Amino acid sequence: MELAERKVEEQKGEPAVVERDIDSNLVTAVSRTKAESIRRKELRKAGKDPKDAKEEEKELDERSEHTQDIDTVCKEFNTDKDKGLTSAEYDKNLERYGKNQLTPPPEKFWVLQLLEHMTGFFSLLLWMASILCFIAFGINPESQDNLYLGVVLAAVVAITGVFSYYQDAKSAAVMAGFKNFLPEKCIVTRDGEAKEVLAENLVPGDLVKIQNGMKIPADIRILKQSEMKVDNASLTGESEAQKRDTAIMKEGSELLEATNMCFYGTLCVNGNGTGIVTATGDHTTIGSIAKLASEASEGGETPINREINHFIKIISAVAIFLGVLFFVLGFILGLDALDNVVFAIGIIVANVPEGLLATVTVSLTLTAQRMAQKKVLVKNLEAVETLGSTNVIASDKTGTLTQNIMTLQHFWFDGKQRNAADFMEGKEDRDGKTFSVVKHCLGLCTTASFTDKQEEKDNIPFQARRFSGDASEGAMIKFMEPLLRKDGMRIEEERRKYPAVYKLPFNSTNKFMLHVCDMGSEHVLWMKGAPERIWQRCDNVLVDGKEQAKEEVEAKYSDGLFRLMNNGERVLALCMKRLDPNMFKPGYEYKWDGEGGVDSNFPHRGYTFIGLAALIDPPRPAVPGAVRSCQTAGIQVIMVTGDHPDTAEAIAKMVGIITKPTRRDVAARERVPISEIDYDHPDIGARVIKGAEVNQLSDEELDHVLDFEQLVFARTSPANKLTIVKALQEKRFKRYKDGRMPKRIKNIVAVTGDGVNDSPALSQADIGVAMGIVGSDVAKDAADMILLNDDFASIVDGVEEGRLIFDNLKKSIAYTLSSNIPEITPFLVFIVLQIPLGLTTVLILLIDLGTDLLPAIALAYEAKEADIMMKPPRDSRTDRLVTRKLISFSYLQIGVIQAAAGFYAYFVVLSDYGFPAGELLGAAQLFFDFADDRDDAVFTPPRTVDAVHLQVGDNAINLQECVFDDADTCHIPDEALFHAQSAFFVSIVIVQWADVIACRTRRLSIYHQGMRNTVLNIGLLEETVLACILLYTPGVGVIGTRPIRFVHWFPALPFSMFIVIYDEMRKYLIRLGPPEGSEKKMNIVEEYTYY
Longest CA pairwise span in the chain (Å): 133
Q: Burial-class residue 695 by CB neighbours within 10 Å (0-12, 13-18, 19+).
A: exposed
The Cα–Cα gap between 465 and 226 comes to 27
**Sequence-ordered list of residues with C-beta below 8 angstroms from that of 592, at least 6 positions apart, any chain:** 227, 504, 514, 600, 602
Amino acid identity of residue 222, one-letter, is I
Sign of CA dihedral 174, 177, 179, 180: negative
Q: Are 232 and 238 in contact (CB under 8 A)?
A: yes
Closest of 705, 711, 710 to residue 727, by C-alpha: 705
**Sequence-ordered list of residues with C-beta below 8 angstroms from that of 155, at least 6 positions apart, any chain:** none
Amino acid identity of residue 659, one-letter, is T
Active site residue 933: no
N-terminal to C-terminal alpha carbon distance within the chain: 38
C-alpha of 860 from chain center: 19
Residue 805 sits at φ, ψ, to 5 deg, of -55, -50
Q: Are 1051 and 987 in contact (CB under 8 A)?
A: yes
**Sequence-ordered list of residues with C-beta below 8 angstroms from that of 739, at least 6 positions apart, any chain:** none
The Cα–Cα gap between 263 and 140 comes to 70
The Cα–Cα gap between 885 and 1070 comes to 13
The helices-and-strands tally (H runs, E runs) of the chain is: 40, 31
The Cα–Cα gap between 527 and 573 comes to 8
The Cα–Cα gap between 101 and 118 comes to 35
Q: Are 868 and 803 in contact (CB under 8 A)?
A: yes
Closest of 944, 742, 915 to residue 835, by C-alpha: 915
Helix, strand, or coil (residue 395): strand
Q: Are 191 and 200 in contact (CB under 8 A)?
A: no
Give, for 326, the enclosing helix (H) or strand (E). helix 303-332
Residue of 145, 168, 396, 665 with catalytic role = 396
CA distances to 521, 631, 902, 1074, 1081 from 1071, in Å: 80, 21, 31, 7, 13
The Cα–Cα gap between 939 and 1021 comes to 43
CA distances to 243, 632, 888, 990, 1066 from 1009, in Å: 60, 20, 24, 21, 16
Q: Are 756 and 212 in contact (CB under 8 A)?
A: yes
The Cα–Cα gap between 817 and 884 comes to 13
Closest of 331, 381, 321, 394 to residue 351, by C-alpha: 321
Alpha helices of 892-937 — where are they, by DSSP H? 895-912, 924-932
Amino acid identity of residue 932, one-letter, is D
CA distances to 81, 705, 734, 749 from 700, in Å: 56, 9, 13, 19
The Cα–Cα gap between 993 and 996 comes to 6
Q: What is the CA angle 480-482-483, rounded to 5?
A: 60
Looking from the CA of 686 toward its CB, the CA atoms found within 13 Å total 25
> Which active-site residues does the annotation give?
396
